[in-house]
């Protein structure tokens, strides 16, 4: 059975793994993300000599996913400056001589769940991560959706809550986007403590649910996904999901109807692959690259 290399490339760590067609992760290491000059050789050393058939990369962005573009497979205007304009796909192809599948980190996670997790068998789904940033991966007709470049739905503009004590969001680009108002760093800025230390403060979580729900209503009305997965560090607060569901129902105002909406517990769900969804999605990207 063929083996696949998988890389979940993040701004703080690179998770390198080997997986099979069943989505089993057979081996993995986590390397700190330093410069390409330092980190690429370490990653290559992990993948070499393992008889891999292809590599899949789910990458922090923004990235160029347009196969017709001269910079296809590069990381674009990232704040991680040493990686800006880095042609990561080309470098892996040259160094390993393997087909390389490539997508955003969140599209990979959405695809991992859609292949082996809680959105398996559904044609459409989205994966929303609320962590250091907010990102959204979109699967439509069973495939990651790119569009013009790729969705950046974490930066969806939301209406501020009139009682929000923080005067504006933490996103350097937008005063009132979801990431700027609801990411882990936004919570920390607003309340002066890390999100994980605020479990017992109900006002923190009702406000958080208010913002996340607005975005989910937007995604539902535009994309009509068959299921929504909520992941990321902030969603480790188990009381958050019920609040989000309740707030989605309230904000929709009875407009959208259907079986899924009668049972929001089965519609807005937590991750099912124990935070392996990203790396498993990268395995699937590798499988698809080989099949091409
Ligand atoms: P990243 O987004 O960097 O990949 P995470 O998804 O773990 O990593 O997100 C990190 C953010 O999530 C931090 O802002 C942190 O405060 C927050 N976070 C991590 N664990 C928890 C938790 N148990 N409860 C609430 N917030 C958390
Ligand atoms: Zn923004």
150 CA to centre of ligand 2 in angstroms: 15
**Which atom of ligand 1 is nearest the CA belonging to 12?**
3
How big is the chain, counted in residues?
A: 292
Beta-bridge partners for 270: 230
Contact in structure between 57 and 10 (CB atoms under 8 Å): no
Residue whose token pair is 């993040």: 10
Q: Nearest C-alpha to atom 7 of ligand 1 is from which residue? A: 233
CB-based contact 282:6 (threshold 8 Å):
yes
Counting atoms of ligand 1 from 1, which one is nearest the CA of 10?
A: 4
Q: Decide if 3 contacts 267 (C-beta within 8 A).
A: no
Q: Which residues line ligand 1 (CB under 6 A)?
A: 10, 12, 131-133, 184-185, 194-196, 232-234, 236-237
Tell which atom from ligand 1 comes closest to the C-alpha of 130: 6
Q: What is the residue-level pLDDT of the chain in tens, covering all 292 positions? A: 899 999 999 999 999 999 999 999 999 999 999 999 999 999 999 999 999 999 999 999 899 999 999 999 999 998 889 999 999 999 999 999 999 999 999 999 999 999 999 999 999 999 999 999 999 999 999 999 999 999 999 999 999 999 999 999 999 999 999 999 999 999 999 999 999 999 999 999 999 999 999 999 999 999 999 999 999 999 999 999 999 999 999 999 998 888 888 899 999 999 999 989 999 999 999 999 999 9
The answer to whether 91 touches 55, Cβ cutoff 8 Å, is no
């Amino acid at each position: 059975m063929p083996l696949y290399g998988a890389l979940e490339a993040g701004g703080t760590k690179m998770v390198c793994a080997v997986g099979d067609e069943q989505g089993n992760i057979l081996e993995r290491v986590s390397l700190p993300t330093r410069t390409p000059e330092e980190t690429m050789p370490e990653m290559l050393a992990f993948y070499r000599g393992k008889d891999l058939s292809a590599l899949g990369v789910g990458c922090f962005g923004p990235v160029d996913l347009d196969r017709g573009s001269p910079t296809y497979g590069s990381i674009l205007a990232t704040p991680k400056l040493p990686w800006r304009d880095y042609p990561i796909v080309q470098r892996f192809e040259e160094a390993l001589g393997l087909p390389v599948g490539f997508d955003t980190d969140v599209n990979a996670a959405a695809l991992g769940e859609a292949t082996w997790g809680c959105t398996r068998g559904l044609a459409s789904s989205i994966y929303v991560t609320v962590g250091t940033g907010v990102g959204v991966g979109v699967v439509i007709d069973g495939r990651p959706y790119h569009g013009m470049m790729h969705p950046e739905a974490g930066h969806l503009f939301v209406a501020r809550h009139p009682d929000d004590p923080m005067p504006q969001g933490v996103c350097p680009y937008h005063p009132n986007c979801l990431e700027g108002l609801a990411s882990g760093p936004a919570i920390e800025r607003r309340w002066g403590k890390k999100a994980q230390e605020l479990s017992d403060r109900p006002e923190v979580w009702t406000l958080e649910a208010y913002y996340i729900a607005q975005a989910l209503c937007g995604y539902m009305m535009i994309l009509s996904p068959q299921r929504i997965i909520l992941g990321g560090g902030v969603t480790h607060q188990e009381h958050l999901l019920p609040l989000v569901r309740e707030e989605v129902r309230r904000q929709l105002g009875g407009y959208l109807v259907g079986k899924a909406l009668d049972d929001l517990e089965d519609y807005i769900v937590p991750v099912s692959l124990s935070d392996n969804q990203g790396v498993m999605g990268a395995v699937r990207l590798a499988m698809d690259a080989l099949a091409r």
